[in-house]
Structure 1
């Protein structure tokens, strides 16, 4: 696995009242949610980025954005396939 090091202003951690490990975890989840919302990654990949299983990630999505993103044509196609 690739490791990244990022620099953040010292006051960010105190402002958010998070220890560094929790801040990193929150950033991973936020990035995964955002990239999923932009339809850049699937549920599966987003969960992997977030460091969660797919069910945990879907539950995280429920708190933040719609967990399923289909336009009307895609929904219609899926319903016709049933």
Structure 2
């Protein structure tokens, strides 16, 4: 896994967990990583990530029509 260092202003009133959730959630929504990888970034279980992501405004479900068709086919 790659490591990334980000310098944030001291005035930013965010916890490390919140920032990790925002980054991981956005990467997941864009289809760049899986829920398991996102959970690993945050340092929590996959189940916890899935349960928490809605509080940060992220959806577990894709907006892609192709993904919807695949989901229907697999159901």
| Runs of at least 5 residues in structure 2 that lack an aligned partner in the other structure | none
**Matching residue of 1:60:** 52
Q: Equivalent of 2:22, from 18, 25, 30?
A: 30
Inter-partner Cα distance in structure 2 for 1:27 and 1:42 = 18
Q: Equivalent of 2:37, from 45, 48, 51?
A: 45
Tell me which protein shows more helix as a share of its residues: 1
- Aligned pair 1:8/2:8, yes or no? yes
Residues 21 and 53 of structure 2 are in contact (CA less than 8 Å); yes or no, is this contact kept in structure 1?
A: no
Inter-partner Cα distance in structure 2 for 1:5 and 1:74 = 33
More relative contact order in 1 or in 2 (CA 8 Å, sep 6+)?
A: 2
> What TM-score does the superposition give when structure 1 sets the normalisation length?
0.68
Structure 1 moving runs of 4+ over 6 Å: none
Inter-partner Cα distance in structure 2 for 1:33 and 1:39 = 10
Which structure has the bigger radius of gyration? 1
Kindly state the Cα deviation for residue 71 of structure 1 after the two structures are TM-superposed: 2.4
Tell me whether 30-39 or 69-78 shows the greater mean CA deviation: 69-78
Aligned length: 74
